[in-house]
Structure 1
């Protein structure tokens, strides 16, 4: 399965989700994108630090969401707003919020951009719980 995680800039939340998923569910193909990503922007310092501290796979620079991404088997967004934006442009896309799909929760994953390291750690912990749930839901390959 091709699964794409989506946030705003593709520098904080979605790269963390991608890295966690690659480590936890290696049988599937994961990517991350941003709805307002600046192409080539590096992963945020704190997200990169968390990836390194937890010995997770490195992820690439920011990439904008594209028509090709809309054809992924599953698109998992960090917020309802991201989901709604994708749905309005791509009505046939298989899109959910990560929390909704993985954990049955309506909650958004708050953007830690510009916050302290502790904010990133909170987001990391939340993402890890959702990725653990996602691993249980995805079909075996």
Structure 2
């Protein structure tokens, strides 16, 4: 199963989600993309530090979401607006959900870009919790 995590620039949230998911769900093909990513742009320093502290793999540089990604088994976005953008670009048949909706949580994953390290830690904790729920959901399906 191929899962694509999507945010805006593919430098903060979706790379964190990719690394967490790769550790928690090693049997899945996991990638991350951005809807407005600058190809090859490095992940944010705070995201890099969080991944280092948790001994998680560093994703490759930023990648732009494209038509090939739209064919993934499951596309999980950080917000409902990201989901809507993908549906507008690729149609309603795309298997795309906001991550929080898919795992039954109320709050979307807000963008920590430009924020303090503590904000990134909160996003990391939120993503870890959501991806643990995602793993449970996919294993039972």
Which TM-score applies when normalising by structure 2?
A: 0.96
Deviation at 1:132, TM superposition (A): 0.5
Instruction: Assess, with a 3 A threshold, how the Cα gap between structure 1 residues 112 and 9 changes in structure 2: closer, same or farther.
Output: same
Give a deviation string over 1:17-68, Cα, whole Å, max 9, x none.
Answer: 0000000000100000000000110010000110110011221100000000
Deviation at 1:107, TM superposition (A): 2.2
> Match for residue 117 of structure 2?
117
Write the distance in 2 (CA, Å) between the matches of 1:67 and 1:106.
Answer: 29
> Match for residue 107 of structure 1?
107
Give a deviation string over 1:72-118, Cα, whole Å, max 9, x none.
Answer: 0000000010000001111211000111112x124211100000000
Write the distance in 2 (CA, Å) between the matches of 1:123 and 1:77.
Answer: 14
Write the distance in 2 (CA, Å) between the matches of 1:139 and 1:53.
Answer: 28
> Match for residue 95 of structure 1?
96
> Match for residue 36 of structure 1?
36
Indicate whether 1:70 and 2:57 are aligned.
no
Structure 1: 4+ residue segments shifted above 6 A? none
Unaligned runs of 5+ in 1: none
Indicate whether 1:83 and 2:65 are aligned.
no
Indicate whether 1:57 and 2:23 are aligned.
no
The residue matched to 1:138 in structure 2 has which SS? helix
The residue matched to 1:48 in structure 2 has which SS? helix
Write the distance in 1 (CA, Å) between the matches of 2:23 and 2:73.
Answer: 19
Deviation at 1:121, TM superposition (A): 0.3
Which TM-score applies when normalising by structure 1?
A: 0.96
Two-structure CA RMSD over aligned residues (Å): 1.0
> Match for residue 16 of structure 2?
16
